[in-house]
Amino acid sequence: MSGSEAIQLLNQSSGYGILVGVGALFAIGMILTTKLLEKYLHEDAKSTEVFMVANRSVGIPLLSSSVYSSWTWATELLWVCTMVYNYGIMASYWYSAGLAVQICLMALIGIEAKKKIPACHTSLEIVGLRYGKACHILYMFLSLTNNLLSCCSMIVGAAGAISIIAGNLHIVASTMLIPFGVLLYTTVGGLKATFLTDFVHSFILLIILCYVDTSILSSKEIGGLDGLYDLVIKHESDRYIEGNYNGSFLTGKSQGAIFFGIILTIGNFGLTVMDSSFWQKSFSANTRASLPGYLIAGIFIVANVWGLGSIVGLSSIVLEGTPTFPTYPRKMTASEVSSGFVLPYTVKGLLGNGGVGAILLVVYLAVTSTVSAQMISVSSILSFDIYKKYINPDAQNHQMIRVSHFGVIFFGLFSAGFSVMLHYVGVDMTWLGYFYSMIICPGVIPLVFTITWSRQTKLAAFISPIIGLVSGLVVWTTTAYHYYSEVTVASLGGQLPCMFGGLTALFLPGVVSIIVSLTIRPYNFDWNELRQAELIVSEEDENTNHRIEISSSEKSNDDKGNTDKENQTTNVRNRDAETDSDNIVFDEKIDGEEQKRRLLSTYLKLAYGAFIFALLIMWVLWPLPLYRDWIWSRAYFKGYITVSLIWVYGALLVIGVYPLIDGRHSAAKIIRGVYNDYIKRN
C-alpha cells in the first residue's frame, strides 16, 4: 500500500502502548501470579508436569476459557469481516461452521488419548511409541511446520492491523514486538500461565465484542436491526457479488462464501489436530473436565465471528461510500481489504478512537494468546520429542525445563523473523490463510487414526502424509494454471486452486492409509503398549540423592545417642506404617483408575455423538435449506442477528464470568496468604 493510500486511525504511541505497555503489564502480572500460585497453592512451575501439562488438574471453567482463547485468533476477527464484505452475510455463518466442528473433534481425540496413554505430553510421543523413529521424525516436521505457519499467519494479520491502526507504525516494529511480553510470562509460568492469560484474554475480548457489536448496531448511522436491514437493501445495487443469488449481500446462496467456508474448515482441521498445544490442553485437564470443557468452548466459539462479522461486515458495505468511512471519498483498495482493514476502518467510522483502541487491544490479546500456545507446543516438542528422545534419554527435570525455556525463546524470536520475511515477499493475511492447508493438512487423518484406529500400519502412517502433501501441492499449482493460465502469487491465492489443493491434502492421506493398512501386511495394534509407556519425568532423583546424603549425615550424628534396640524398634514401626500406607494408596488408586476408565468410556461415546451432531447441524441441517433462490426477509435477518448477540453475551457469562466464580476459593486462599504474610512482616 502506498503512503498516499494509508489511513491513520490512531497515533503511533497507542501502538507502542499496547505492544510494550500491555505486553509488559501482562508479563509482570502473570509472573507475579505464577509466584503466588507456587507459594500459596504449591504449584511448582519448575516441574515439567506443571510447565507442560499444568499438573493435569485444570477444571472445566478454566479449560473451556483456555480452549476458547486458543481458538480466538487475530485473523479470525479480521478475516470474518473481510469475507462478509466480499461475499455477503453468509460468510459469517460459514466462518462459524468452520470453528465449532474442530473443537468437538479435539474433545474426541483428547479423550481417546487420556484413556489410552494418560501420561502423555505431546501427540508426537504417541506416534513414536506406535510407529518408531521414521514416523516420529516425519510427524515432528509436520507439527513444527504447522506451529510456524499458524503462528506466523496470526502475526502477519495482527501486525498489519496494528500497524495501520497505530499511525502507520512500521510493520517490522509491530511484528517483532508482538512476542515481547509473551516470551516473559510463558518462559516463567509455562502452560499454567498460558491458561491464566487465556482466561484474562477471553474475558476482556468478550467484553469488547459485546460493546462493539451492540454499539455499532445502535449507532445513529446504522439505526438498529431495522435500520441495518434497510441500508443493506438500499445498497444492494452498489456492488454485484458474482456467485450470489441476484448478486445480493443477504442470501444464503453464496458460492464464494461456501468456497471460503470449505477452505477455512480444511485449514482449521490442520491447525487443530496438528497443533500439539490443543492436545496438551486435553492432557492438562482433569478427567471430569476433559469433555465438558471442550464442548462448552465449541458451543460458544461461534460468538466471536457470528455477530461481529455480520454487523461490521454489512456496516462496512453500506458506509464505505459515505463521509463517515475513513477512506472517503475513495473506496478501500484490494490490498486493504485482503489485509483485514475492514474491521478497524468500520469501527473508526462508527465508534471513533475509543472503539479503534478497543479493537487494537482485542487484536493484540488474540495474537498473543495464539503465540503463547504455539511457544509451549514447540518447547514441549523440543524437550520431549527431540532432547529427551534422541539426545539425553535420562534427562532430569531441571534439564527438561532448561530446554523448554530455550524452546520458548527461540520459537518466539524465529516466528517473528519469519513473519517479517513473509511480509516482504508480499504475503498478506488472506493469501496465507488460503494457502497453508496444503502444507498442514496431510497428517491430520493419519494422526487421528494413530489414536483411534488400531489397524493403521506403520507403512500407511508414513507414506500417506507424504503422498497427500505432494498431491495437494500439485493439484494447487495445476488448478491455478488451469483457471488463470499462469502460476503466480496472485493466481495461487485464488479460491478454487486453494480449495481443491486443500481437499486433496486433507482427504487423500486418509484414503491411502485405509487402503494400505488393509491390504499390505494388516495387523491390530495393542493399546496396552501405550498405557505401559513410562513418560513421566522423575522430579525426585536429584532431591532424593540430596536427602539421602543429609539423612546419612544426620543419622551418623544422632546414632551416637541412640541404642541399637531403639533403632530396630523404630525401623520396624516405619516399615509397618509404610506397608499400611502403601496398601491404602494402592487400593484408592485402583478405585480411582477404574472410575476414570468408566467415565472416559462414557465421555468417549458422548464425544463421538457431539462431533457427528455438530457436523450435521453446522454443515447440513442449517445451511442447506438456505442455499436457494431467496433473499433473506426482514424477520429472518433480525432473528439471525439477535441470536448472534445472545450468543456473544452468553459466551461472556460462561467463558468470562464462570471461571471467576469457580476459582473464588483459590483466589481467597492466595489473598489470605498475602494478607497474613503482610501482617507478620508488620
Q: 329: cis peptide before it, omega within 30°?
A: yes
* Model confidence pLDDT, tens digit, residues 291-310: 898 899 999 999 999 999 99
For residue 56, the model assigns a pLDDT of 56
In whole angstroms, give the CA distance from residue 128 to residue 125.
5
CA distances from 553 to 245, 413, 574 (A): 86, 48, 19
For residue 191, give the nearest of 337, 50, 14 by alpha carbon: 50
- pLDDT band (50, 70, 90) for residue 136: very high
DSSP-based three-state secondary structure for 627: coil
For residue 211, the model assigns a pLDDT of 95
Using the predicted structure, report yes or no on whether residue 337 has a pLDDT greater than 80.
yes
* Candidate from 184-188, 252-256, 333-337 with smallest mean pLDDT: 184-188
Q: What is the mean pLDDT of residues 236-260?
A: 93
Q: What is the mean pLDDT of residues 566-582?
A: 39
DSSP-based three-state secondary structure for 139: helix
Place of cell 483411534: 452
Q: What is the mean pLDDT of residues 585-612?
A: 75
Show Cβ contacts of residue 243 under 8 Å, excluding neighbours closer than 6 positions.
87, 254, 255, 256
Contact 225, 644 (CB under 8 A): no
- pLDDT band (50, 70, 90) for residue 262: very high
Place of cell 505486553: 23
- Joined together, the cell numbers standing for residue 271 give 491447525
- DSSP structure string for 385-433: IIIIIII-TT--HHHHHHHHHHHHHHHHHHHHHHHHHHHHTT--HHHHH
- Tell me the H-state helices in 617-633: none
Contact 257, 97 (CB under 8 A): no
For residue 568, the model assigns a pLDDT of 41
For residue 352, give the nearest of 9, 15, 82 by alpha carbon: 9
Place of cell 459515505: 322
For residue 565, the model assigns a pLDDT of 39
Using the predicted structure, report yes or no on whether residue 585 has a pLDDT greater than 70.
no
**Predicted TM-score of the model (pTM):** 0.83
**Taking the CB of residue 246, how many other CB atoms lie within 10 A of it?**
13
Using the predicted structure, report yes or no on whether residue 105 has a pLDDT greater than 50.
yes
* Model confidence pLDDT, tens digit, residues 441-466: 999 999 999 999 999 999 999 999 99
- Tell me the H-state helices in 301-341: 303-319, 334-338
- Joined together, the cell numbers standing for residue 378 give 514447540
Q: What angle do CA 178, 46, 37 make, to 5 degrees?
A: 80
Using the predicted structure, report yes or no on whether residue 49 has a pLDDT greater than 60.
no
Residue-averaged pLDDT of the chain: 83
In whole angstroms, give the CA distance from residue 413 to residue 420.
11
* Model confidence pLDDT, tens digit, residues 179-235: 776 776 666 655 555 667 778 888 999 999 999 999 999 999 999 999 999 999 999
In whole angstroms, give the CA distance from residue 437 to residue 444.
11
Q: Name the β-bridge partners of 254.
A: 244
Using the predicted structure, report yes or no on whether residue 173 has a pLDDT greater than 80.
yes
Q: What is the mean pLDDT of residues 160-178?
A: 82
For residue 338, the model assigns a pLDDT of 86
Q: What is the mean pLDDT of residues 502-511?
A: 96
In whole angstroms, give the CA distance from residue 441 to residue 463.
14
Using the predicted structure, report yes or no on whether residue 1 has a pLDDT greater than 70.
no
Q: Give backbone dihedrals phi and psi of 523, rounded to 5 degrees, phi first.
A: -160, 170
Contact 306, 93 (CB under 8 A): yes
Using the predicted structure, report yes or no on whether residue 606 has a pLDDT greater than 90.
yes
Using the predicted structure, report yes or no on whether residue 402 has a pLDDT greater than 60.
yes
DSSP-based three-state secondary structure for 254: strand
In whole angstroms, give the CA distance from residue 300 to residue 308.
14
The length of the chain in residues reads 682
Using the predicted structure, report yes or no on whether residue 614 has a pLDDT greater than 50.
yes
Helix (H) / strand (E) element for 506: namely: helix 495-519
CA distances from 530 to 42, 336, 451, 534 (A): 30, 50, 10, 9
Domains of the chain: 16-381+398-425+644-679 (1.20.1730.10), 442-532 (no CATH)
What percent of the chain is modeled with pLDDT above 70? 86
Using the predicted structure, report yes or no on whether residue 351 has a pLDDT greater than 80.
yes
CA 188 to chain CA centroid, nearest Å:
20
Using the predicted structure, report yes or no on whether residue 580 has a pLDDT greater than 80.
no
DSSP-based three-state secondary structure for 351: helix
40-44, 388-392, 404-408 — most confident range: 388-392
For residue 570, the model assigns a pLDDT of 40
Q: What is the mean pLDDT of residues 567-571?
A: 41
- Joined together, the cell numbers standing for residue 339 give 489485509
**Which residue type occupies 265?**
T
Task: State whether the Cα torsion 114-117-119-122 is positive or negative.
Answer: negative
- pLDDT band (50, 70, 90) for residue 682: confident
Q: Give backbone dihedrals phi and psi of 426, rounded to 5 degrees, phi first.
A: 90, 20
Using the predicted structure, report yes or no on whether residue 575 has a pLDDT greater than 50.
no
For residue 169, the model assigns a pLDDT of 81
Half-sphere exposure of 322 (CA within 13 A, CB side): 14
Tell which wins on pLDDT, 13 or 183: 13
In whole angstroms, give the CA distance from residue 614 to residue 51.
33
For residue 539, the model assigns a pLDDT of 52
